[in-house]
Structure 1
C-alpha cells in the first residue's frame, strides 16, 4: 500500500472573472506544437463543476473526515481501494478510480484514460470525461498531455468528477514531482473485525 499524511483534499480557488478564465495548452494535431486553448463553454462548465464538487467535498469532510488533515491516506492498486485511516482507528474505503496525474516540473496533467499502466476498469471517470469531450468537441478533455497549473489541474479533476457524478475528488503527492487525482465513489466505513 502506498500513501502518506492526509492533507486537505482540494483547493478553493477563485477563477479570474475575465477570459481566458482557465489556461490550458494542448498539442496541435496539425503542427505538433503547443497551443493555448480557448473554450468559453467549457470554462462555464468548469466553474459550475467546481462549485458543485466543493460542496460535495465539504460534505465528505463533515460525514467521513476525508481531508480534515488528520490521519493518513493510502491506495492499493492490486486490491483496487483508496483508503483514509484516522487516529481513532476508523478507516474509510472507496473503490480506486484514477482521474489523472500532474507532473510539476513540466506543469502537465496526464489523463488516466491514456495511461497504459493503469487498469482500464479503474479509469472510468477519466474515460467518461473523454467521451463527454468527444461528444461536445472540448479538446482539453481529449488531449494528452494538458499543460496547466496545479490549480487548473484541480479544476479539470473536479469537472471529471462532476461529469461522472462521483462523491468527491482527492489528490495527494506521490513523490516530490508527481501528484495523483482520484475520484471518491461510494465511500464506506470499514467494519473492523
Structure 2
C-alpha cells in the first residue's frame, strides 16, 4: 500500500514538473519581449535605410540636358575611334590596372595602346552602379581624374554624379560613361565584361602601333 502511494506521488511530481516546463518553454519575460521587438524594429529601419540609399538618383532637367549633350559627344568620338583605329575589330583586348593601359591586338601583336580612366561598374549580382572613385579595389592610376566628374556633380547639384552606389543597369552605366567622357573630353569609351560585372572606361589617349 505504502509502495503504491509512493509511486503515485512520484508520478504526480513528474507530471507537475513536466507541465511547468511545457508552459514556460520559449516564454519570454516582458523585458525580453520589448528588447526583441526593439531589435526587430531597428533591423527593419536599417534595411529600409539601406534600400533607400540605393534608390536611383533624381533626374532633373539639368541632368537630362547634360545627358543629351554627353551622348551626342560620345557617339561622335566612338564613330571616329571605330573608323580611325578600327576599335571593335581586333581579335583580343586586354587591360592592366597597374599600367592603366587597354590594348588591342591581332595575331598576338599589339596594334593599339590606350591610356584609360575607369568610370565605374555595374554589378550583375546586386544590379547596382558603383563609381570608380568609390571603389577601393581599383588602382589609383586608373581613377586619378574621375573625381572631376564628381566635383562637377557637387557644383551643379547632380545627384547621379555624386552618389557612390545605386540601383542601375547597363544603360545607366553607359549614361554615366557618356557624361564622364563629355566632361573629361575623352576620345572614346569601352565596356569590359567580366563574370560578375560590366566595367566602363574612357580613353584618355590612343597610341597607334599599326
TM superposition score category, shorter chain reference: 0.7 to 0.9
- How many equivalent residue pairs? 162
Q: Name the CA shift for 1:35/1:160 in 2 (closer, same or farther; >3 Å).
A: closer
Structure of greater Rg: 2
Matched, 1:121 2:141: yes
| Matched ranges for 1:45-124 at <5 A | 45-68=66-89, 70-87=90-107, 89-124=109-144
Matched, 1:157 2:157: no
Matched, 1:187 2:182: no
The structure with the largest helix share of the pair is 2
- Which stretches of structure 1, 4 residues or longer, exceed 6 Å deviation after superposition? none
- Separation of aligned partners in 1, 2:57 and 2:80: 35
Q: Name the CA shift for 1:94/1:43 in 2 (closer, same or farther; >3 Å).
A: same
Shift of 1:102: 0.8
- Separation of aligned partners in 2, 1:55 and 1:44: 17
Shift of 1:125: 4.2
- Indicate the residue corresponding to 1:130 in structure 2: 150
* SS of alignment partner, residue 205 of structure 2: coil
Shift of 1:90: 4.8
Backbone CA RMSD of aligned residues: 2.3
Gaps (5+ residues) in structure 2? 1-47
* SS of alignment partner, residue 130 of structure 2: strand
